[in-house]
Amino acid sequence: MPFILGANGKPLTKESFANIFADACRAAGVKTSARGLRKIAAQGATDAGATVSEMKAVFGWDSGRMALQYTRTADPRRLAINEGRQS
């Protein structure tokens, strides 16, 4: 279900949202992008223990490919942190 609508009242495409977000960031003097923000959110979710299914639901991914990419990166970090706690 879309929750971000354009001026016409219709759901924004991810490309349209990215353009609007980039314009707002430039106007505010912030150097970031919607992609960067999404990447940070995905990394935070996996660091917090989100599963592939949860990642797909939250980020709207059709396949688990992107979620697996993030969880593969987060798993070694989590293991290292957990090992340090057990010592």
Whether the model clears a pTM of 0.85, i.e. scores above it, the answer is no
Strand partners, 11: 5
Which contacts of 48-53 are long-range, i.e. CB under 8 A and separated by 24 or more positions? 49/78
The pLDDT of residue 58 is 85
Answer whether residue 87 shows pLDDT above 60: no
| pLDDT tens column, 29-68 | 988 777 778 888 888 888 888 888 998 888 888 888 888 8
pLDDT of residue 38: 82
